[in-house]
Amino acid sequence: MKRRSFLAVLPLVLAAPTVQAQTPFPTRAVTIIVPFAAGGPTDVINRLVAEGMAKDLGQPVVVENVTGAGGTIAAARVANARPDGYTILAHHIGHATSATLYRNLPYDVEKSFAPLGLVSNAAMTIVARPDFPASDLAGLMAEIRRQGDRLTLAHAGVGGANHLCGILMQYAAQKSLTTVAFRGSAPVLTEMMAGRIDVFCDQATNTAPFIRDNRIRSYAVTLDQRVPGLDLPTTAEAGQPSIVMSTWHGLYVPAATPQAVQERLSTALRAALREDRLRARFAELVTEVAPPEQATPAFHRQFLAQEVAKWRPIIQAAGVYAD
């Protein structure tokens, strides 16, 4: 009897150390990979997020900039990273559109990653050179339809938010403009103020100072609601409801990351988004903080799928690819 009793409890004795050996997450620094250069909107936003997450996680959260190929180099690195939660991708709308813009990606935009939650939502603004003849968005679209490729449309890199917004405008007008590529938004705005670029669509983060000082013409914001601090109608109010987009940001980990780790990181993200310093700085950047219900894996996963589906026909119709 004693022998049988010992054998009966032996599996429980052997299993006990396994339970006790489970290590809480995290026990060391977490790295957020940002696909764009230091100092840009995506970098600034996610450094603020990293600070807030570090407080909640009790470990350092460092930002590493891995640039190139519209963010796909950084995304590939995270897709292939050890799925332990210590490597996070911070990306914007370009993650969704890369599924169509790049025809030979080494990963699947949806299947290779586990979304942790949305971070922010920034309006795009439609602007033009100071002496552009149109006084409102309807007039601008009429000029685009009338002049077509005689007008210049700037962007700061294929796959960037301003490039995508330009594609969306041309799709709405059913006209192609002459596109001119620049390295960043700052030189575009300089050339626009000098009258050498006709039309541009860029984040309010970049254009707001120029709009407020009347150094460029401004027509609308591309959200479904107005942006505080900018006296501009929405595109829907201005008669162009199909030109709706935002530069949204979200966090991702490799798809095989344990569910408990995903949930811990998502909780830390929501804690970071509640920080007063972050919220004040986002307001200065004319960027909305994602509400708690959107800073979740479930919402983010569904939203990403919708964005991939939304942009696929638009990009295919434009016939513009990054590879």
What is the separation of C-alpha 164 from the centre of its chain, rounded to a whole number of angstroms? Answer: 12
Average pLDDT, integer, range 129-146 = 97
Range 250-265 average pLDDT: 98
295 within a domain of the structure (yes/no): yes
Question: Of 67, 79, 88, whose CA–CA distance to 110 is shortest?
Answer: 79
**Residue 100: inside a domain, yes or no?**
yes
| Summary mean pLDDT of the chain | 92
Please say if the pLDDT value at position 10 is more than 80. Answer: no
Mean predicted confidence (pLDDT) in 211-227? 95
10 found inside a domain: no
CA dist., res. 225 & res. 230, Å (int): 11
* 42 and 90 housed in the same domain: yes
Answer yes or no: do 145 and 290 share one domain: no
Q: Is residue 162 part of a domain?
A: yes
Look at residue 89 and tell me whether its pLDDT is greater than 90: yes
Q: Is residue 161 classed exposed, middle or buried when 0-12, 13-18 and 19+ CB atoms within 10 A define those classes?
A: buried
- Domain holding 149: CATH number? 3.40.190.10
Q: Could you tell me the pTM of the whole model?
A: 0.87
Domain closes at, from 187, 221, 255: 221
**pLDDT of amino acid 22:** 60
Residues 109 and 138 in one domain: no
Same domain for 287 and 297? yes
Task: Identify the domain boundary among 173, 203, 221.
Answer: 221
Same domain for 117 and 127, yes or no, is no
CA-CA distance, 227 to 26, in Å (whole number)? 38
Residues 64 and 107 in one domain: yes
pLDDT for 253 beyond 50: yes
Number of domains in the chain: 2
CATH number of residue 43's parent domain:
3.40.190.150
For residues 163 and 107, membership in a common domain is answered with no
Region 37-62: mean pLDDT is 95
How many whole angstroms separate alpha carbon 269 and alpha carbon 82? 20
Q: In this structure, are 108 and 169 located in the same domain?
A: no
In a domain, residue 21? The reply is no
- Average pLDDT (203-229) is 93
> Do 186 and 268 reside in the same domain of the chain?
no
Among candidate residues 204, 221, 238, the one where a domain is terminated: 221
Asked if residue 237 belongs to a domain, the reply is: no
Q: Domain of 34?
A: 30-121+247-318
Query: Residue 229's pLDDT band (boundaries 50, 70, 90)?
Result: confident
Same structural domain, 79 and 151: no
- Residue 132, in any domain of the structure: yes
**Residues 42 and 98 both lie in one domain:** yes
Judge if 132 and 111 occupy the same domain: no
Residue 239 lies in a domain: no
